Homo-oligomer: A and B are copies of this chain.
């Protein structure tokens, strides 16, 4: 039996779930500013002050929501990855990046909240929760990169060709996280991340609409370039014209 949980504990969990669900619905319907306490409380049959038994503040609730969304995105990328064979690194690279874009397009408000909310200027008093989520999210790409490198090394520049200031930081990063990659590969990794994030957020925020109505072909073209850069044989196919 699961009755090792007291009635209180069960109720607390269901309430927490309901709160987050309603917060998510409000986020989708009205954006970050629309996530307010009273409607959330009302929806689950409580009053606003009662929510303070669950979260220290609205800010705290939002942080939890962000963590949830972060995890959802990461999970969807991992699932896409795991549908392909372990050794199909090319395929995994493609489906993971596409899963990222698909999630961003399907959930623009959530994307906005997770990726375009500055983390606080001075020294970032950001929450530990998000630290872990970001780590897990980045880990999907990072893990793919490491396997890619292990299996078939792509061309990278020698350490000496990197700006010493950059070199130092990359070395530090690799050391702190035990990443068994040469610094040049880390540089490639970051460049891929920049292009991926750049294109997706430009699309979601509408800053490409001056030129494109459908970003998909450009996204595919970018994947082709990245794949080529990584020594993968993938090319986006399109009917000749």
Contacting B at CB under 8 A, from A120-172, are 120-121, 124, 126, 134-135, 138, 160, 162-167, 169-170
| Stretch of A15-23, A88-96, A204-212 on the interface side | A204-212
Question: Could you say which residues of chain B place their CB within 8 Å of the CB of A238?
Answer: 163-165
On whether the beta carbons of B108 and A217 are closer than 8 Å, the reply is no
Nearest-neighbor residue (CB-CB) of A237 within chain B: B163
On whether the beta carbons of B194 and A198 are closer than 8 Å, the reply is yes
How far, in Å, is A227 (CB) from chain B's closest CB? 15
On whether the beta carbons of B165 and A205 are closer than 8 Å, the reply is no
On whether the beta carbons of B217 and A163 are closer than 8 Å, the reply is yes
On whether the beta carbons of B119 and A216 are closer than 8 Å, the reply is no
How many Å lie between the Cα of A44 and that of B107 in the bound state? 41
How many Å lie between the Cα of A209 and that of B130 in the bound state? 13
Tell me whether A232 is interfacial, beta carbon within 8 Å.
Answer: no
Instruction: Evaluate whether A213 and B169 lie within 8 angstroms (CB atoms) in the complex, with A197-B202, A198-B199 already known.
Output: yes
How many Å lie between the Cα of A170 and that of B214 in the bound state? 11
How far, in Å, is A214 (CB) from chain B's closest CB? 6
Q: Interface code A164-197, partner B: CB below 8 Å = 1, 0 otherwise?
A: 1111011001000000000000110011011111
On whether the beta carbons of B163 and A220 are closer than 8 Å, the reply is yes
Q: Which of B108, B163, B167, B222 contacts A118 (CB 8 A)?
A: B108
